[in-house]
Amino acid sequence: MSDYSVGQFAMIPAGTQASVAPATPRNVPAHGGEPNPSAAFLVAKFGDAIVRSWVNCGETNVIVKVEAIHDVIQWLNEDHGQRYEYLVDVTAVEYRDAGRPLEVVWHLRSLSFLRFLRLKVELPTRGPLVVPSVMDIYSGADWLERECWDMFGIKFEGHPDLRRILLWESYREGFPLRKDFPLRGRFSRAEQLKQALAADPEARYSMEELTIAEAFDSLPEDMRSRLAADKAAGTEAFGE
């Protein structure tokens, strides 16, 4: 719990260090155009870890190697010349073409300089989908990363509580936003309904919640074994 006092609530205006007054972008070219100055700084600082960068629709995209992405994002957040204090989004893109890798995308915004940057990491579609978590830098990444796990199956190392957020925890059909997942799901409607109804709505408490209630022992046997199995497999919720 952060300590606060009334003085800390002095107004923080955005754009204090921006060099240009913001204006509605006009006639933005599809390719080319003014890149975000941070891209050049990144290449200067991290060298090889920056695979490539380009400008598309007025936005700068930078592809970074997986090993370096956490350091890159940390530097962008902490460096006084970059000041990307605001994490807009963490998401992923899987392409329809067979050869193209899956990209994990971070959208960062600098409120001081009024800049926008897109960082990407390329992962082979068939390989292990593991990237570092940025929750230690931005606490807002918590749910965004959980959603990426839920929809794509991307594991975020360092996230304390990576479990499904939009679908129920025992969802068995897979990861919906992958391209090999059919629109209507893998199971038939009757089977989907049967599985959905079988999940007792009150039984969806995580380990953390059950330790509070000291109710673990009073749970039915199958639930206890399921939760214990999850704990052993490391897929359980954050428990004490």
Q: What are phi and psi of 131, to 5 degrees?
A: -135, 160
Beta-bridge mates of residue 27: none
Among 212, 228, 231, 235, the residue binding other proteins under the rule CB under 8 A is 212
Nearer to other proteins, 42 or 144 (CB): 144
Say how many C-beta atoms besides its own lie within 10 A of residue 16's C-beta.
Answer: 11
Residue 149 CB partners (closer than 8 Å, separation 6+): 155, 156, 162, 163, 164, 165
Q: Which stretch binds other proteins (CB under 8 A): 32-40, 43-51, 190-198, 228-236?
A: 190-198
Instruction: Find the binding residues for other proteins in span 127-146 (CB under 8 A).
Output: 138-144
Report if residue 119 touches other proteins, rule: CB under 8 A: no
Please name the helix (run of DSSP H) or strand (run of DSSP E) that holds residue 126, with its range, or none: none
Report if residue 7 touches other proteins, rule: CB under 8 A: no
Q: Cβ 57 to other proteins, closest distance in Å?
A: 4
Instruction: Find the binding residues for other proteins in span 17-36 (CB under 8 A).
Output: 21-31
Nearer to other proteins, 40 or 196 (CB): 196
Report if residue 79 touches other proteins, rule: CB under 8 A: no
Report if residue 225 touches other proteins, rule: CB under 8 A: no
Q: Which stretch binds other proteins (CB under 8 A): 37-45, 169-177, 218-226, 228-236?
A: 169-177
Give me the long-range contacts of 29-36 (CB less than 8 A, separation at least 24): 29/58, 30/56, 30/57, 31/55, 31/56, 33/58, 35/60, 36/60, 36/115, 36/116, 36/117
